[in-house]
Structure 1
Amino acid sequence: MTGPRDVFLVANSVDELGGVTSWTHHMARLLTERGHRVHVIGITTPEDPHDLGELPYPTTRLYGGQPPGPGRARDASMRERAALLTRLFAAARPGGVVIVTQVWAMEWVKLADTAGLTVIGMSHESYETSRASSRFRRVLQHYRDVDRMLVLTREDADLWIGAGLNNTSFLPNAVPWLPDEPSPRTEKAVISIGRLSDEKGVDLLLDTWSEVGPRHPGWVLKIYGSGEDEEILRKQCASLGLDASVRWMGRTSDVPGALRGGSVFALSSRGEGFPLALMEAMAMGVPCAAFDCAPGVHEIVRDGEDGLLATPGNTGELARKLDLLMSDKSLRDRMGETARENIRRYGTEEIVDRWEQLFTFLER
């Protein structure tokens, strides 16, 4: 089948503000624009749901809040909610596809009847990040029998195959936009965009800034995002004496606008999959200094050509990379323009073509 399909995207949540949720809605829009009939399903509803605005496809939430804790009540609740999934899936025309974006959501999908549908299970993090968490065992358990386990890089796919998931392949994320006008790179600002959580390493970025910031009077570090670590990070910032040069910008729905207000982008994560924020910065022509914390990072950034990579966790090295970019406008401009060109290889048309080819291949 090569025509329009029914495609269900099942994620942990429809309303969270985070990389996987952003990817889910971006993919839903792209597939809808191709004529597919898309339905986005979230398991939970967060306490502080993100306003999605008008969407060109329906959304369903299995729970108005969180599911019950482990035990009989949870088991009964999961079976009940899986029955709702079964009813939704049963309405699909031949050739329907279920894409499960996170392994936790797969626990509900496994209890539903997916007969006649192609099921794709995804991991949006690197193999090493998954292996260091409880998700590793769950991926091996829940994705073993899906039609395709999909990760974001060839390097990670090879590692999962080595771990026994022979149904694994890879497909990178699409860059969400390729703006006509890049950042002017005139603001003396380094930009960080991401959840204020341990994995995103904002604590490491503050340590880095304590080394490089004082060398560049007039420069500021703008940190966009919110999260559970915000209070402790603000205390760390104050204890390092950085309050005068760090701006806590909060969450933003205008990522292009945030990036236009900076000349350098910093990624200090402890772990990543295929970081969307990095791609967005490059699309805006903002050169990046990043910890090489995952295959997705060094697949996106060509070190020394369109950005600079540092050893994961080495704040002194990341500070030196930032120092290079902050000190040299011609280097920033050259790398920023190269980044804009190089990131086009992840354009939406090419990536959606590859998704549709995968649907057709798996249907055989």
Structure 2
Amino acid sequence: MSGSRDIFIVSNSTDELGGVTGWMHRTAQLFQEAGHRVHTVGVHAAERKMALPDPPGYPVTALYPAHPPTPWAARGLRDRFRIPARRAEARRVVRKRRAVDRLSEIFRAARPGGVVIVTQVWAMEWVGEADTAGLRVIGMSHESYDYSRASHRYRWIRNHYPALDHWLVLTAEDADKWAGDGMDNVGFMPNALAGLPDVPSPRREKSVASIGRLTDQKGIDMLLDAWALVAPQRPDWRLDVYGTGEDEAELRTLCTALGLDGSVDWRGRTDDVPGALADSSVFVQSSRGEGFPLALLEAMASGVPCAAFDCAPGVREIIRDGEDGLLAPAGDIGALADRLLRLTGNPRMRDAMGDRARANVQRFSEAETMGRWEELFALLER
């Protein structure tokens, strides 16, 4: 390491329930333990809160007390006479300028060699307008190239990221795709595994666990459809769904319509992921899109074999199909059900894959990842 740095980690929110927020605070702790000065910044404070480190040991700043309003623009002559909307937009612009000024003030406190890490594409809008003179700016995307390409975030990346000192995706495969798309400042940095539980799951409970936000991206609707194929053949097994989100009511309705209320338990959010995994024998991930999912790393670290949709390079980089887990083609509900039936029906397979998962996942250790960050910081100084 070339010495202590000032590192600013900027995200959409500092306390929103989700994987990126968890990544931000764990990475901030690791940077601090390595001797760096860290300041975490969110564009806004969240409604659905995540439990933060207590105390965090570093400043945590939200630029807005709640999610800022979206921009408004007149789209025709009639809109020009919408006086309340025009006044609201003027107030939004003023508040944004104040937020950007506050962010600039935070950045100006940096010593020479400071680094800004922007974890999400939307937050780059504020960083791009702030004063980053003398700082190296690193952008990140925590989702796959294909998932970004199919969303509005692709345009934001094309607009905001080419001029950055560097930007990072989660896998070499995605970095190659972005490079092929003309982005020549891209590299990759995998998420780090926080650590191994002292004792792996005994894999005795007849429970399949899903852990994640109840949103469209996580594909819990597809998981319920798959479980409708599994449950009749595994009447003594249950599906434990951990998480909350805006789709919860709709998903519970779907669960009832599929006749699954007797075999699906809605566990709500949990701050004890190792405990939830210790009570499970199989982990399932049914996402439509992912980056480098921490939930998979955590399940494997607990010795819980995983069945997952092969929806992103990060998923197939974590799971070695047929060795330490089972992959199903993205969106193939029948195939996911087949993988769940295989794991729930074969205790010897579960034990063998779970043990290999716990061993293999250690290649994503925090020490390994922190070494890669230090190498990147040194490279950017040249």
Q: TM-score, normalised by structure 1?
A: 0.98
1:245 to 257, 263, 280: 263
> 1:68 offset after TM fit, Å?
3.1
Deviation of the 1:163 alpha carbon: 1.5
Amino acid at match of 2:303: G
Which residue is equivalent to 1:283?
301
Report the 3-state secondary structure (helix = DSSP H, G, I; strand = E; otherwise coil) of the residue aligned with 1:262. coil
- Counting only pairs closer than 5 Å after superposition, residues 331-350 of structure 1 correspond to structure 2 as 331-350=349-368
SS at 1:62's partner residue? strand
Q: Which residue of 207, 211, 219 maps to 1:201?
A: 219
Match of 2:60 in 1: 59
Residue 41, structure 1, aligned to residue 59, structure 2: no
1:33 is aligned with what amino acid? Answer: E
The answer for the alignment partner of 2:310 in structure 1 is 292
What residue identity is the alignment partner of 1:331?
M
Match of 2:98 in 1: 80
User: SS of 2:204's equivalent?
Assistant: coil
Q: Could you tell me how far 1:129 is from its partner in structure 2?
A: 0.5
* C-alpha spacing 1:219/1:27, structure 2 compared with 1 (3 Å): same
Q: Which moved more, 1:156-165 or 1:43-52?
A: 43-52
d(CA) in 2 for partners of 1:131, 1:48: 28
Q: Which amino acid aligns with 1:26?
A: R
SS at match of 1:42: strand
Does the CA-based 8 Å contact 1:185-1:333 persist in structure 2? yes
Q: Distance between the aligned counterparts of 1:49 and 1:239, measured in 2? A: 30
Q: Distance in 1 between matches of 2:23 and 2:231?
A: 33
**Equivalent residue, structure 2, for 1:313:** 331
1:257 equivalent to 2:258? Answer: no
Question: How far does residue 161 in structure 1 lie from its aligned partner after superposition?
Answer: 1.1
1:278-298 deviation digits (Å, cap 9, x = unpaired):
110000000000000000000
Matching residue of 2:345: 327
Query: 1:45 Cα shift?
Result: 1.1
- Distance, in Å, in 2 between the alignment partners of 1:77 and 1:244 is 50
The one-character-per-residue Cα deviations of 1:313-348 (angstroms, maximum 9, x if unpaired) are 111111111111101111000000000010000000
Structure 2 partner of 1:14: 14
Match of 2:32 in 1: 32
Cα displacement string for residues 74-94 of structure 1 (whole angstroms, at most 9, x for unaligned residues) = 333222211111111111111
RMSD across aligned C-alpha pairs, in angstroms?
Answer: 1.0
In the alignment, the residues of structure 2 paired with residue 288 and residue 268 of structure 1 have an alpha-carbon distance, to the nearest angstrom, of 11
Check the 8 A contact 2:17/2:48 in 1, yes or no: no
Instruction: Please tell me whether residue 164 in structure 1 is matched to residue 182 in structure 2.
Output: yes
Instruction: After TM superposition, give the deviation of residue 164 of structure 1 in Å.
Output: 1.6
Q: Which range moves more in the overlay, 210-219 or 266-275?
A: 210-219
Shift in Å at residue 72 of structure 1? 3.5
Amino acid at match of 2:10: V
- State the shift of 1:363 in Å: 1.2
Q: Summarize deviations over 1:178-236 as a string: whole Å, max 9, x none.
A: 12210010000000000000110000000000001111121100000000100010010
1:39-73 Cα offsets, whole Å, 9 max, x none, are 00000112233332321211000001122331433
Structure 2 residue identity aligned to 1:325:
L
Unaligned stretches of 5+ in structure 1?
Answer: none
- Post-superposition Cα deviations, 1:98-153, rounded to whole Å, max 9, x if no partner, equal 00000110100011111111100000000000011100000111111010010000
**Cα distance in 1 for residues equivalent to 2:381 and 2:161:** 18
> C-alpha distance in 2, partners of 1:346/1:248?
30
Which runs of 5 or more residues in structure 2 are unaligned? Answer: 72-88
Equivalent position of 1:269 in the other structure:
287
Paired residue secondary structure (1:121): strand
Counterpart AA for 1:239: A
Q: Is the contact between residue 68 and residue 77 of structure 1 (CA under 8 Å) also seen in structure 2?
A: no
Q: Percent identity?
A: 60
Normalized against structure 2, the TM-score is what? 0.94
